[in-house]
Each structure stands twice: as structure tokens, then as C-alpha cells.
Amino acid sequence: MTHYYCQPMYNPVYYPNGYPVRQVTTIPYNYYYQQQVRQFPDVDPTLFEQSAKSMQHLMKEASLVLNELAKSKPFAKKVMDAAQQSNMKEVDQLIKSTGIKSKVETTFNPDGINLKLSSKVGGSDCCHLTIGLRWL
């Protein structure tokens, strides 16, 4: 049994004199649903998987920095002093001295410090891990 949704749809029919006349037709009830069904291409999770592995590496390196800041009050004081003096080179050197190899962008303000660790897969940026720590 076919069900029809009776929404009018106007298809102009022209008489020989050139004037259009509206003709009402019916549309199957699933017409609009069928129009929205889309086909998606097959996915390739290779880059996604590599990004996840790279992010795991970034998290291990972030853990190195956080462990050093948490266990060594003198180290944390050096980082804060260098940041307070806007000595970006010293802050970067201190962060790198924890043993991390990834690219790190450091920003700070009077309230705290932000560390953005980045990684590449296949020559393009894939992963970013941002750590925000407050000191005031």
C-alpha cells in the first residue's frame, strides 16, 4: 500500500494563449527524507591514528614539565622570576631543561603561564597541547 502526503506542489501548465494554469500534484510522504540521505566517502583513519600517537608523546613531555614544576620549588621560582622580568629566552631554556624535545611556545602574564606543545606528522601540524598554570 502506498501512502501519499498530500502537500500541494504547483507545476505550471501553459495553455496555447500563454497563460499559466496551476495544477496540483501529490508527493510521496518520504520524498523529503529521500532528498536528505547523503552518501559519505570511506574514511582513512591513518592520520588520525598517527595524531593520537603523537599526542600521547606530547602528554608524556608535558608530564615532565609539570613534574619538575610540582616537585622543585626552586625551579618553579626561577621560571616565575624569569617571566616576571620578561626574559623569554630564560623561560624557554628552563622549560627545555626538563628534557622535552617538542616545540614549545610559552606565553605569560601577571596571572600565570601558558605552554603550547606542538607536534608534526608527515610534515604538517597535527597536534597541540596547551597547558595553563596560574601563579597569582
Q: Total domain count for the chain?
A: 2
Residue 45 lies in a domain: no
Burial of 44 (0-12, 13-18, 19+ CB in 10 A): exposed
Whole-model pTM above 0.85? Answer: no
Residue 49 lies in a domain: no
Q: In this structure, are 72 and 125 located in the same domain?
A: yes
**Residues 73 and 21 reside in one and the same domain:** no
62's torsion region: left (phi>0), alpha (psi -120 to 50) or beta? alpha
Least confident range from 7-21, 87-101, 120-134: namely 7-21
- List, in sequence order, the alpha helices (H) in the chain: 31-36, 46-71, 73-84, 88-96
Could you tell me if residue 79 is inside a domain? yes
Looking at the structure, do residues 61 and 113 belong to the same domain, yes or no?
yes
pLDDT band at 123; cut points 50, 70, 90 = confident
Tens-place pLDDT, residues 92-117: 999 999 999 999 999 999 999 999 99
Rounded to a whole number, what is the largest CA-CA distance in the chain?
95
